């Protein structure tokens, strides 16, 4: 049985990132104004099982390499800074080299609003770190399974690492091996949860059993 390393929450400052409050506001506004609600059918995507047939996610277009729908240049620059600053530290956390992902899914912003249910439980196709721009007053915690055997959302919830997101931090965890989900946000919460998920190419994946696992979720 393979045990998960405890997730780490590192500050932007620790990874050499300095983002002004104005730029944070810009990023948050961009996420809120452009993220689109998408239905995730659990019979199409290979998710961890839960009692629902589908769930929802709010995503922006991937801003770094989606040529048809470019975000404002300042947003692209900020997301690029987050992407690059996270890469080395995330590689150290995982203990294996990572390179930039040349696909349109290199970075995607995810939004969770008050009243949103928990997300699907899933494995990431590529190793992904979560940078937090804004968080709600309560809820929206990240749960990461402690074992690779946890394959239902309930099992993940019962035996998991819980990460409380904080603005200007990055959650590092091995989401390509350990199932995870973002918890519901109570309707009574104030504020919203906005984050940038950054995904990287893991060369070791090409020769590991993970390369053939059947899941579909990208981040
Ligand atoms: Fe994920």
Q: Grade residue 211 by pLDDT with cuts at 50, 70 and 90.
A: very low
CA of 20 to the centre of ligand 1 (A): 27
Over residues 90-141, the pLDDT tens digits come to 999 999 999 999 877 899 999 999 999 999 999 999 999 999 999 999 999 9
At 210 the pLDDT is: 46
CA of 202 to the centre of ligand 1 (A): 15
Distance in angstroms (rounded) separating the CA atoms of residues 21 and 15: 17
CA of 72 to the centre of ligand 1 (A): 25
| 42, containing H or E segment | none
Q: Number of C-alpha atoms within 13 angstroms, CB side, residue 123?
A: 20
Q: Grade residue 45 by pLDDT with cuts at 50, 70 and 90.
A: low
CA of 129 to the centre of ligand 1 (A): 8
Closest listed residue to residue 24, CA positions, set 194, 138, 198, 197:
194
CA of 180 to the centre of ligand 1 (A): 6
Q: Grade residue 4 by pLDDT with cuts at 50, 70 and 90.
A: low
Give the DSSP per-residue string, 154-183. HHHHHSEEEE---TTEEEE--TTTS-EEE-
CATH of domain 8-210: 2.60.120.620
> Would you list the domain boundaries of the chain?
8-210
CA of 197 to the centre of ligand 1 (A): 8
Over residues 154-208, the pLDDT tens digits come to 899 999 999 999 999 999 999 999 999 999 999 999 999 999 999 999 998 765 5
Distance in angstroms (rounded) separating the CA atoms of residues 75 and 128: 19
CA of 210 to the centre of ligand 1 (A): 15
CA of 108 to the centre of ligand 1 (A): 11
Number of helices and strands in the chain (H, E): 3, 11
CA of 24 to the centre of ligand 1 (A): 22
CA of 122 to the centre of ligand 1 (A): 6
């Amino acid at each position: 049985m393979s045990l998960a390393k405890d997730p780490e929450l590192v500050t932007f400052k620790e990874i050499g990132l300095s983002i002004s409050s104005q730029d944070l506001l810009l990023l948050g506004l961009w996420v809120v104004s452009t993220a689109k609600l998408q239905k995730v059918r659990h019979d199409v995507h290979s998710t961890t099982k839960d009692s629902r047939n589908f769930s929802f996610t709010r995503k922006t277009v991937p801003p770094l390499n989606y040529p048809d729908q470019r975000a404002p240049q300042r947003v692209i620059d900020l997301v690029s800074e987050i992407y690059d600053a996270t890469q080395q530290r995330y590689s150290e956390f995982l203990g294996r080299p990572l390179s930039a992902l040349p696909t349109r899914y290199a970075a995607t912003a995810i939004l969770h609003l008050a009243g949103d249910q928990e997300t699907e439980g899933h494995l990431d196709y590529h190793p992904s770190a979560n940078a937090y721009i804004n968080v709600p007053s309560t809820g929206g915690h990240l749960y990461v399974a402690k074992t690779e055997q946890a394959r239902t959302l309930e099992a993940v919830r019962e035996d998991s690492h819980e990460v409380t997101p904080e603005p200007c931090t990055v959650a590092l965890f091995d989401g390509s091996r350990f199932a995870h989900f973002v918890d519901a946000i109570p309707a009574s919460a104030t504020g919203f949860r906005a984050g940038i998920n950054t995904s990287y190419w893991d060369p070791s994946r090409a020769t590991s059993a993970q390369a053939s696992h059947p899941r579909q979720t990208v981040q």
